[in-house]
Each structure stands twice: as structure tokens, then as C-alpha cells.
Amino acid sequence: MLRTCPRENEVNDLVTRGQWPHASAEELREHVRTCRACSDLVLVATAFQSVRAETVAAVPRLGSAGALWWRAQLRRRSATVERLSRPLLGAQIFALAVTLLAAASFFGYEARHGVGWLNWLEELPQSVGVQFADLSSPAPFGSAWFWLLAASAAVLVLAAGVAMLLATDKR
Amino acid sequence: MPWEFALPDTLASAATHAAAPPMDSDAFAAFYERSSRLLWAYLARVSNDGALAEDLMQESYVRFLCAEHAPSLAADGEVAARLYLFRIATNLLRDHWRRPRAASIDEISEEFFSAAGGAAQAESRALLGPALQQMKPRERLLLWLAHAEGYSHREIAEVTGLAATSIRLLLFRARRRIAKLLRAGEEQPC
């Protein structure tokens, strides 16, 4: 049951200000001796204040404010970048989905309306086989396929170089 | 292509602008100097773990600086800023206690309670340490905030997130219990 005392605040103020018991009236001291709520308050509050003063005085060497400041700066910055990049990532995913959908529609249409993609794909292995046979012939440089292959390889190498450059630049 | 290449300047400047903390570094250093010992004492005494107190204290300051609605020293004053800081620290403590392995709450390090001090202080320490150990974490929080920090019921409610109306009753019960433990400690022969 909650049995508080109307003089608790008065006692608490004196204890908090460090004026108990010296700056208190004899009548109040007498009240505290007979009132359980107030005597509990004085006992507990003085013990806590004493331990607090002692603990604060014995605090070990704490980390520097500057380090915490920069840590917080980094965290705020990365959180902001993450927040800003979220809609961009959504837009990228949306663009990819649209592209895939368009490509699937295109290939589906072409397969149904007969430009002969499926026949062409079926004949592709034989065709490639023939061209590789041409490459291994004594005079490959005269073949148009050779030049097409070389150009493709050059474009691939160039694209890889550009990709590497961009990746390094980002880092 | 990553967005950093497409819009590097715009986003970088937006990030830098949004990363502006609630106070400048000098003001923070002064605030840290005034409040860090008190915050460490609170965390150390309530958790009974000095190392944990330091970790939580640092995290509290970092979160304080990162918080979007943290009170500023200039506009809201020192008291509001300190209350907000204690609130962050209390939430971190609570998160720590909620984790499955919260061994440090119930462990008391001997050297933590055996620092040098006067006879009266040693007596308080010797009695209050074991008594606090027997209290529930929430009771330790309430008692420390009320009697060591001197916060009002409204301020304690703000820090702990408890209803202001229940603080009075919870604090009364906690005080009665710890007073009983302290008296029992005093009566025991050395």
C-alpha cells in the first residue's frame, strides 16, 4: 500500500541539495525519525548521493569526444547515403524489369510470327562448326568470320577496360 | 552504372548537408565533458559492469549526435539534452537486458566496488552495492535517476518511457525495498 508523507518533497529537496541534516529544522529531523516514508527517503537518498559522488570521482579514463564526434559523422553520412540511394535502387530494378519484359515480349512475338528464329537457332551449331573449320584452315585471314570475331574480341577487351577503370575510380 | 557516377555532386552534397549534427564539435566536446562522467556512473552502477558502461556510453553519444530530433543545446538547453541522452542510454541498457545472455547484470566485479574512499563512503558503497544487486534492473534505474541524479517523476518518465503516474508507486516500492535491505545490512555484524 502506498503510504506517502506530505513532507517527503521538503525532505527530498534538503537531501538533494546536500543540506540534510545540518540545514534542517529540529522539528523536521524529529519528524523523519518517526515517519517511515521520510526515514526511508533519507536513508536511500543519502546512500545514493554518496555513491554517486564517489563513482563520478573514480570514473576511469573515458574515450575522447572528438573520436565520438567523427564516428557519429560517419554514421550519419552513411545513413544518409543509404536513404538517398534507396529510391535509385528501386528505379534501377524497375528499369531492369521493364527491359526484361520488353525483351521477352519481342522474342515471344518473333517466335510466333515466323521470322524463323527457331529454325535459325536449330541450324546454328552446324553453322558455327563450319566456321571454326574455316578458321583452322591454312589461310584464315581471308575469312570475313575471322575479322568479325577479332572485332568482337577487341570490343570486349575495350569494354572490360572501361569497366575496370570505372570500378577503380569509384573506390 | 552506379548512381554515384550519374549524380556524384548532387548526392554527395545532399549527404553532407543531411549529416549536419545537432551541435558543433566544440559544443559537443564541452557537453561531453560535463555529462560523460555522470552518464558513465549511471550506466556502471545500474548495470554493475564498468566495461559495459563505457560501451553503452559511447554508443549513447553517437546515437545522440545521429538522432534527427535530438534537442539542441542552444534552443532546448542542457537539461533537455541530458535527459535525451539518459533516455538513449536507458534504452540501450534495456536492449542489453533483453538479450538472451545478459550475464553482466547479475555479476558484480569486486574491483569496481573496492575503489579508494573515506570511511563513510566505504560504508555506503559496502551497503548499497550488494543491496542494489538484489534489486530488479528497473528498480535500479528508477532509484538512481530519482536519488542520485535527482530527477523529478516527470523527468524519470521521460527517460524511462514509463507512465508518469506509475513512477511514484514504483519508486515508492523500490525505495521501501532497498531501505529494508540497507537496514538489514547495517544490523549484520561485521
Query: Are A59 and B37 spatial neighbours (Cβ–Cβ below 8 Å)?
Result: yes
> Cell 538522432 maps to which residue?
B67
Residue A110 lies in a domain: yes
Q: Please state the ipTM of this predicted complex.
A: 0.74
Residue A128 lies in a domain: no
C-beta atoms of B11 and A84 within 8 A: yes
Taking the CA of residue A92 and the nearest CA in chain B, the distance in Å comes to: 9
Q: Which three cell numbers stand for residue A54?
A: 564517489
Taking contacts as CB-CB distances below 8 angstroms, the residues of chain A near B168 are 2, 4
What tens digit of pLDDT does each residue of A26-70 get?
Answer: 899 999 999 999 999 999 999 998 889 888 888 888 889 999 999
Q: Which amino acid is at B47?
A: S
Using a 10 angstrom Cβ sphere, with 0-12 exposed, 13-18 middle and 19 or more buried, the burial of residue A32 is buried
The structural domain count of chain A equals: 3
Taking contacts as CB-CB distances below 8 angstroms, the residues of chain A near B54 are 60, 62-63
Across the interface, of A44, A85, A88, the residue whose CB is closest to B175 is: A44
**H-assigned helices in B99-190:** 103-106, 119-133, 137-143, 153-160, 164-187
Triad A128, A132, A138: Cα angle to 5°: 150
Which range, A12-16, A139-143, B16-20, B62-66, has the best average confidence (pLDDT)? B62-66
Length of chain A: 171
Which mean pLDDT values do the consecutive 10-residue runs of chain B (190 residues) have?
48 54 85 94 91 94 90 86 95 88 47 45 68 90 92 93 91 93 75
What is the distance between the alpha carbons of residues B171 and B167, in angstroms, rounded to a whole number?
A: 6
In chain B, the domains with their CATH numbers are: 22-105 (1.10.1740), 118-190 (1.10.10.10)
Residue A95 lies in a domain: yes
Residue A167 lies in a domain: yes
Which range, A7-21, A89-103, B47-61, B92-106, has the best average confidence (pLDDT)? B47-61
Q: Which three cell numbers stand for residue B64?
A: 545522440
Taking contacts as CB-CB distances below 8 angstroms, the residues of chain B near A16 are 150
**H-assigned helices in B99-118:** 103-106
Structural domain for A20, as ranges: 8-57
A15 and A52 in a single domain? The answer is yes
What is the distance between the alpha carbons of residues A64 and B54, in angstroms, rounded to a whole number?
A: 12
A148 and A119 in a single domain? The answer is no
What is the distance between the alpha carbons of residues B117 and B128, in angstroms, rounded to a whole number?
A: 14
Residue A37 lies in a domain: yes
Tell me the Cα Rg of chain A: 42
Residue A67 lies in a domain: no
A13 and A50 in a single domain? The answer is yes
